[in-house]
Amino acid sequence: MAETPSLFDRLAVAETPPVAAEPVTVVIFGGAGDLAHRKLLPALYNLHLDGLLPPRTSIVGVGRKEFDDNKYRAFAKDGIEKFSRRPIDEHAWPTFADTVSFVNASIDDTEDRALAPLGSRLDIVEHERGLSGNRIYYLAVPPALFVPTVRQLNRARFVPPRDQATRDARPFARLIVEKPIGRDLQSACDIDDAIAEVFNEHQIYRIDHYLGKETVQNILVLRFANSIFEPLFNQKYIDHVQITVAEAEGVGTRANYYEQAGALRDMVQNHMLQLLSMIAMEPPHSLESDVVRDEKLEVLQSLRPIAGDRVDAQVVRGQYAAGFDLGKPVSGYRQEPGVSPTSTTETYVALQIFIDNWRWAGVPFFIRTGKRLPKRASEISVHLKEVPPILFNANPNGPLDPNVLSIRIQPDEGFALGISSKIPGPRVRVYPVQMDFHYGSTFGGTSPEAYERLLLDVMVGDSTLFMRRDAVEAGWRWVMPILDRWSAQKADAIPAYAAGSWGPEEADRLIESAGRQWRAL
């Protein structure tokens, strides 16, 4: 008998033409840090398993730890065993391990030859592996080291002059910058200015791991590859949109960072505004990276400013107090190690946002994010307007539930459409049902991690899922009046919510005052 055809044999699969990645040296500054251990090295390993890591590619970690190559490979293997979505393959591991090496160097050293050990190692590695000098520099370091590292790269002449670094120039040099980029508009501009002295904009990849998540990438396909949805995405049919990013854990070991950031800087200015721009953007005329990013920027530039008294009416902040996590008592934020006992840093924020353009005029977007909420969940829900109060919706005491399109970003990736249906039987009884799609059950296996997709995109030179300078600064420009209002108020305390709850009561009042309710997750 013939073999049963696979899903992709049975379906006509539309796909964009693949672009082959060129062999490259990936240099990870902060290569012995937590990000490299938990995310970057496992992601590169999974690309290797999938045959997507370009042949002869070299991975060089840079840091202060006294590692030799063997110790660094053990460090990488430990991270892969603990955090990779797939286990160690003992047949594939030796080949991958051979690509990994480590250099001890101090990147905050002001001496001109601080990166001399790295230069010597790159010369050896690239000669041994037959590499042409294509390099990706990943700044997996604290934000304070972004500019010193870039300047060290320039002093060491590891980056070609800007006037020679065209898009087609070979060998190429590309820079990956982790968030946060600054803590306000001025500091973000200062960092961007300093980096721009060394790298052209097309060489810079500002990474937001949320944009690498499979369901986030699927937003554009869902909207623009299905004629059922795009005609409805406007103020005629949409009542409101909710975006929720909930975290069950507390601040953990990140208190030093979080005390300086807070939820608005940490989540809203980047992740959540990026999600909002993707769900609200106009159809791009092509999938070329700058065309897509231009449309997202238009959304950010169309956000109605929230300033002065509007902040008090449209923004709620909160801080988790003692409570329970899965039945176990947990401390409040002010009792966490490294947190000031008088801290007013927000661990929760909810906002009502309007987009002042033709498509979304008058449609409120409600976004919320917080720590120590009941569960880990990220979702975008698009709430359609109610059907007229006639026929099946004529009973004012039992109105029909509006149709809701929910896009689940994590942990159960997929989307669902809530519709009304008749219950079987002689009587006409209407009941809400779900048309539900799950990535795991439809396609099988586990979806690639965000960093896998994003690292591969840098290798092929695709910047679609990365933030451009103007978008980063547009985000900061929009949130600054909120931060300024909070700073001027100089509050001794902000609304508290019990750990394990869905946030402060003020957040419920925010959405209820607009005649809506937060969606249950």
Check residue 203 and report its DSSP letter.
G
Confirm whether 209 is a catalytic residue.
Answer: no
CATH homologous superfamily for 23-207?
NAD(P)-binding Rossmann-like Domain (3.40.50.720)
Q: What is the pLDDT of residues 196-215, one digit of tens each?
A: 999 999 999 999 888 887 77
Task: CATH 3.30.360.10 in the chain: give the residue spans.
Answer: 211-448+465-512
Within 10 angstroms of residue 165's Cβ, the number of other Cβ atoms is 17
Fold exhibited by the domain 211-448+465-512: Dihydrodipicolinate Reductase; domain 2 (3.30.360)
Q: Distance between alpha carbon 188 and the CA centroid of its chain, in Å?
A: 18
pLDDT score, position 444: 65
Q: Would you state the pLDDT for residue 8?
A: 37
Q: What's this model's pTM, rounded to 2 decimal places?
A: 0.89
Other Cβ atoms within 10 Å of 11 Cβ, number: 9
Cα 165 to Cα 461: distance, rounded to the nearest angstrom:
13
- Give the pLDDT of residue 513: 95
Q: What is the strand order of the sheet 496-498 is part of?
A: 430-438, 414-422, 404-410, 377-384, 238-246, 364-370, 348-354, 315-321, 496-498
pLDDT, position 19: 63
How is 163-174 classified by DSSP, letter by letter?
GG--TT-SS-EE
Determine how many CB atoms are found less than 10 A away from the CB of residue 137. 22
Q: How far apart are the first and last CA of the chain?
A: 46
CA distance 466 to 177: 10
Collect the ranges in the chain with pLDDT lower than 50: 1-14
Return the HEC string of 332-384.
CHHHCCCCCCCCCCCCEEEEEEEECCCCCCCCEEEEEEECCCCCCEEEEEEEE
Q: What is the pLDDT of residue 143?
A: 87
> Could you give the CA distance from residue 388 to residue 395 in angstroms, rounded to a whole number?
11
Note the pLDDT of residue 388. Answer: 65
Mean pLDDT value across the chain = 88
Query: What was the pLDDT predicted at 162?
Result: 80
- The pLDDT value recorded for residue 110 is 66
In the chain, pLDDT over 70 holds for what percent of residues? 90
Please state the three-class secondary structure of 443-492 as a single string. Answer: HCCCCCCHHHHHHHHHHHCCCCCCECHHHHHHHHHHHHHHHHHHHHHCCC
Residue 3 CB neighbours (<10 A): 6
Please give the structure tokens belonging to residue 178: 């982790």
Catalytic residue among 48, 209, 240, 271: 271
Those residues whose C-beta lies under 8 Å from the C-beta of residue 457, and which sit 6 or more positions away, are 205, 463, 464, 465, 466
Question: Is the Cα dihedral 26, 28, 33, 38 positive or negative?
Answer: negative
Q: What is the pLDDT of residues 42-78, one digit of tens each?
A: 999 999 999 999 889 999 999 988 899 999 999 999 9
The three-point CA angle 103-104-110 to 5° equals 115
Q: Could you tell me which residues are beta bridge partners of residue 204?
A: 175
What proportion of the chain, given as a percentage, has pLDDT over 90? Answer: 59
pLDDT in the model for residue 503: 95
